[in-house]
Amino acid sequence: MPIYEYACSACGHKFEALVRSGTEPQCPACKSSELDKLLSVFATTTTQTAPAMPSPCASCSHAGGPGGCGMN
């Protein structure tokens, strides 16, 4: 049984509903069945962080020193 997110067209209430096959969800605020299914966003977590990219300016050991970088 999937959980869907809805917005009620009648009153604007947003809610989630566990929808069983063969049933039609209703707004819990106004009991309307005129609903718009919303795009669900999945939440994820991670414990790894991406390494910070070095600054392109003055981060290399170019012989010209800061401001003498060959990338400019």
How confident is the model over 5-20, as pLDDT tens digits? Answer: 999 999 999 999 988 8
Q: Tokens 């910070």 — which residue? A: 52
Contact status, residue 43 vs residue 54, Cβ threshold 8 Å: no
Q: What one-character DSSP code corresponds to residue 10? A: T
Q: Compute the 3-state secondary structure of the chain and give helix, strand, coil in percent, each to the nearest 5.
A: 0, 20, 80
What is residue 9's predicted lDDT score, i.e. its pLDDT? 95
| Confidence at 21, pLDDT banded by 50, 70, 90 | confident
Average the pLDDT over 29-52 and give the result: 80
Which tens digits make up the pLDDT trace of 44-68?
A: 666 776 676 665 565 566 666 555 5
